Amino acid sequence: MIMSLSEKIITIAIMAGVTMAVRFLPFIVFSSSRPTPKFIQYLGKALAPALFAMLVVYCLRNSNPLVGNHGLPEYIAVAVTIAVHLWRKQLLLSLAAGTACYMLLLQFVF
């Protein structure tokens, strides 16, 4: 059962539409013409560190350290990224070191 052209277009339009709705919703509910409720202002600030923690876990979600060596390259590369960043505090350098380390591990070691 292959989709017809119009069904493909509808599928893509649904994905774009729902994504757009989710992105606009907070801005519509808490419009800038009225002051944002204090609790939402608090959430806005307090959420940021929690969201970055969630994004890190999300990126590493398929790297289970308990299953084989599957997560090992990821964790080594994350450790390298952190070490380089604590050493020099240069975002691009830390990224380059971590990514290069991961690519080498993946292509030549694992």
Element (H, E) at 103: helix 91-104
Interface with other proteins, residue 43, by CB under 8 A: yes
Of 54, 75, 79, nearest in space to 65 by CA: 75
- Please list every residue from 9 through 38 that binds other proteins, using CB under 8 A: 10-16, 18-20, 22-27, 30, 32, 36
Residue from the set 34, 45, 67, 69 that interacts with other proteins by CB under 8 A: 45
In three state form, how does the secondary structure of 50-76 look?
HHHHHHHHHHCCCCCCCCCCCCHHHHH
Task: Report residue 45 as tokens.
Answer: 């600030």
Question: Site residues (CB under 8 A) for other proteins?
Answer: 1-4, 7-8, 10-16, 18-20, 22-27, 30, 32, 36, 39-62, 73-74, 77-78, 81-82, 85-86, 91-92, 94-95, 98-99, 102-103, 105-107
